[in-house]
Amino acid sequence: MTLKALIFDVDGTLAETEEAHRAAFNDSFAASGLDWCWSREAYRELLKTTGGKERMRAYQDGLPAGARRLSDEEIATLHKRKTARYGEILAAGDLALRPGVAELIEAARAAGLKLAVATTTNRPNVEALTRCCWGRPADAVFDVIAAGDEVAEKKPAPDVYLAALDRLGLPAADCIAFEDSRNGLISARGAGLAVVMTPSVYTDHEDHSGAAQILPSLERAHWPAPLAAALAG
């Protein structure tokens, strides 16, 4: 294997973003006059459904008969409000990268590797994260961004990783994917990628069998030998 690129999931992998997402959902529900309020326990279950709009549909499918239900158009409008609120939360600077992420990306860039994102979230959310955590636009941090709203099927389908590989112009054998969730693991493996897992606070209970490595963090001390060797030049 000649390592040429690192491909990162975003939420839970680059940063523990899910509490910010949950707050943005709940704030948007309240602002829209909905009595929906997602607890941490409920959100852990809802995360099994990838995609914000899809998550809202899954939630309302479980509501009792007679409860207010939103049309697809209303869900799309509400999701736009949620995306804007998430951006406001991150703009306040209350989010940090997970341990080791900044050093890994800096080392990969210095070693001449390409950097990509393959995420279920949308581009505005990626942009909000990079501006919050790096103080730079997303395309100044990553060479390629493949987002969930740009592909036919979201994770666990492999579409977004296949899109990232296509835009990188590289085969899966020359890349490593970094994930935190089982849905992401299945997606990356479906695209033929070796996967390094760093489970997050919302995914540490999942089955991550099939990963090449399961690490507590992306700090240098935990880098697998092939990765460390590639980054050493």
Cis bond upstream, residue 156 (ω within 30): yes
Catalytic residues: 9, 11
β pairing state of 114-118 and 5-8: parallel
What residue type is 107 in one-letter code?
A: A
Nearest-CA neighbor of 118 among 45, 13, 9? Answer: 9
Q: Tens of pLDDT along the chain (233 residues)? A: 689 999 999 999 999 999 999 999 999 999 999 999 999 999 999 999 999 999 999 999 999 998 989 999 999 999 999 999 999 999 998 799 999 999 999 999 999 999 999 999 999 999 999 999 999 999 999 999 999 989 999 999 999 999 999 999 999 999 999 999 999 999 999 999 999 999 999 999 999 999 999 999 999 999 999 899 999 86
* Segment (H or E) for 6: strand 5-8
What residue type is 157 in one-letter code?
A: A
- Joined together, the tokens standing for residue 169 give 């112009």
Per the CB < 8 A criterion, the answer to whether 118 and 148 are in contact is no
- Partnered with residue 213 across adjacent β-strands are 196
What residue type is 177 in one-letter code?
A: A
213 phi and psi angles, rounded to 5 deg: -145, 145
- CA–CA gap between residue 129 and residue 138 (Å, rounded): 8
Instruction: Answer positive or negative: Cα dihedral of 9, 222, 209, 47.
Output: negative
- CA–CA gap between residue 192 and residue 189 (Å, rounded): 5
pTM of the entire predicted model:
0.92
